[in-house]
Structure 1
Amino acid sequence: MTRYSGIHGLGIVDTGNATTVARVDGIIIDPVTATVVAIEARAGRSHSAVHWPDIAGFGDAVTVASPGAIRPADGRAAELRGARHDLLRKRVLTDAGDEIGRVVDIDFDPRTGTVTGLVTDNGTVDGARLMGCGSYAVVVRGR
């Protein structure tokens, strides 16, 4: 598994010429499917995205096949981009309305993008429980 805090700030490297073309600046998650749809990329003052299918791998850097992989967010990534849908630092509520913590990090499978856990200040919640995210909270299925 890979943790978001472990990739934040990493270089995004073009494997064609081994140059750093941007840095990881965020993560875009679809709460309905509990998957990473893109990572946010920053190159200087420019903010773009690398959509999941364009990511070649994760390690000491995030690799992409070409600099063209870094582009404006579109489709579902564009819909979910922004503070309203950002899971980090939000309250976690069960579908019964009980607060169980705040999201402090996110675990995901680097091969599939599946969210495997929401790391909260009170422990880890299984990513399969993720139901939704709004401006106020992240909602998860009760146990």
Structure 2
Amino acid sequence: MLFSRVRGLPVLTPGDAERLGVVRALTVDAAHGRVTHVRIGRGRLRREAVVAWGALRAVGPDMLIVRPSGGPAGAPPHRDLLGSRVLTECGEERGTVLDAAFDPLTARIGTVLTTSGELPAGRLLGLGDHALVIRTGHAHHRV
């Protein structure tokens, strides 16, 4: 499933299918290559809801169903993967993130699609305010 296809999907509760809002963004742990939380937009005047990926009951192409939870306790800070600059650990520019593909059952990221091509998740080191940092994939670094 692509990150871009998840954005805007409705988020519902099981049973009565109460609409909680729509997916605003996905939070990732780049170092471990997985989606950790869903950020749910709840309207203009209501605060964003944050739900752990493990609290989802079902993920489909047209909606997410979430178990009721106690709230966003312990939610990590959010940094948007889509649109992030891509830098190697040596500081070399490698384009911008266009999208990312992940497995909705395991939340594992498979590939990150950038303006410079596809990156396997195994090359991801971290995601910060400034950029997505990746391994160069080379055994030796230029000095």
Shorter chain as normaliser: what TM range? 0.7 to 0.9
TM superposition outliers: structure 1 runs of 4+ over 3 Å = none
The structural deviation recorded for 1:142 is: 1.5
**What does residue 109 of structure 1 align with?**
103
**2:117 alignment counterpart:** 123
For structure 1, which runs of at least 5 residues remain unmatched after alignment? none
Task: Return the structure number with greater strand share.
Answer: 1
Q: Which residue pairs with 1:7 in the alignment?
A: 6
Gapped regions of structure 2 (runs ≥ 5): 138-143
- The 3-state SS of whatever aligns with 2:105 is coil
CA deviation digits over 1:83-120, x for unaligned, max 9?
Answer: xx322212111223222110121211101111111111
Query: Which amino acid is the alignment partner of residue 46 of structure 1?
Result: R
Please state which structure has a larger fraction of its residues in helix.
1
Cα distance change on mapping 1:104 and 1:3 into 2, 3 Å: same
Partner of 1:55: 56
Q: For 1:36-92, what per-residue CA distance to the aligned partner results, in whole angstroms no more than 9, with x for missing partners?
A: 110101212320111111011211101123xx23832x32xx3332xxx32221211
Q: How much identity, in percent, do the aligned residues show?
A: 32
Q: 1:69 corresponds to which residue?
A: 69
The answer to whether structure 1 residue 135 and structure 2 residue 91 are counterparts is: no
The 5 Å alignment of 1:73-112 reads: 74-75=73-74, 78-81=75-78, 85-112=79-106
